[in-house]
A = this chain, B = another copy of it.
Amino acid sequence: MEDDNKRHREKMRKIKAARDRMMATKTDKKGLIIVHTGPGKGKSSSGFGMVMRCIAHGMPCAVVQFIKGNWKTGEADFLRDRFSDECTFVISGEGFTWETQDRERDIAAAQAGWAKAKDLIRNPEITFVLLDEINIALRYGYLDIDEVVEFLLTEKPAMTHVVLTGRNAKPELIEAADLVTEMTLVKHPFRDGIKAQAGVEF
């Protein structure tokens, strides 16, 4: 047992030294383009977890929710009812596209959301913007991927973070991003007839 502890201490000492050396090289800060994609859970909810962190740090932030318009979600209620000073919340769209079945209305909603998103990203007071489910609008061609990428690369203020979520992120966006995470589905209770539940899914 004493030997175990000694070996453990020695191993941890080496890990800490290696980590400290590595961290010493990480000295820069910059506003990041962050993408959460993939079929697994956690793409939007981790975006909202970051919004919570921003509010905690006193960083003014904003959310534009594409596509999820006619859903009643916990995160929308929470931020609009309790943190409207700290977080600007915009809903653009009227539900997933197969709900509306009206392509022109969906395009108009997505474009209106993107116009608002550009204003929020350009706003120097705001340093964190979550574009929730924008990848769906990009995938269906409701927004032009080249325009979105060009805007992010040329007009996003240097210290502003922008998080873009949704399945099937376009390759052009992944190429432009600084931080990309793919949420992979390992196991899902939908397969066993379990429906979406409050707290977990919305």
Contacts and interface: CB of A to CB of B under 8 A. Distances in A.
Count identical subunits in the complex.
2
A128 B56 contact: no
Given A8-B103, A97-B12, A181-B185, A23 B199 contact: no
Contact of A34 (B43, B177, B200): B200
Contacts of A50: 45, 199-200
A146 interface: no
Interface residues of A, number: 83
Contacts of A184: 38, 181-184
Interface stretch (A112-120, A147-155, A186-194): A186-194
Contacts of A51: 52
Interface of A: 4-5, 8-9, 12-13, 15-16, 19, 23, 25-30, 32, 34-36, 38, 40-57, 59, 61, 73-75, 77-78, 81, 97-104, 127-128, 161, 174, 177-190, 192-200, 202
